[in-house]
Amino acid sequence: MGDTDYKWYVLFPNHHEGLKLNQELKVRGIQCTIAPTPRAASTSCGISLIVMEVDLPVINEIINDLEVKIEKTVKLPVKKNWQYKSC
């Protein structure tokens, strides 16, 4: 059970808010990756940021300071041996 890897995602109500936070994190040297919002986290089609767990306290401060609107922050298991399935 202990060998499951996780990623932290910050979800947004729209692209603008996601890009706003992404820009600020890059300026401050905080690692993040823009990614599609995983279906396991939300049914809305949008972007999310993958962030490091260790950075979450600082990221939450930035979100509050800049009044970035987020939907939520979620921790999801990394899919291993994922394969594309055609319809």
Q: How far is CA 39 from the centre of its chain?
A: 13
* CA-based nearest residue to 18, from 39, 31, 40, 33: 33
* Bridge partner list, 34: 49
> pLDDT tens digit string along 42-82?
766 689 999 999 999 999 999 999 999 999 999 998 876 65
Pick 87 or 6 by higher pLDDT: 6
> If you average pLDDT over every residue of the chain, what do you get?
87
> Where does 8-55 have alpha helices with state H?
15-27
Q: Is pLDDT above 50 for 83?
A: yes
The two structure tokens encoding residue 14? 């729209």
Query: Contact 12/48 with Cβ under 8 angstroms?
Result: yes
Confidence (pTM): 0.82
Mean pLDDT in residue range 9-19: 94
Q: What is the CATH number of domain 6-77?
A: 3.30.70
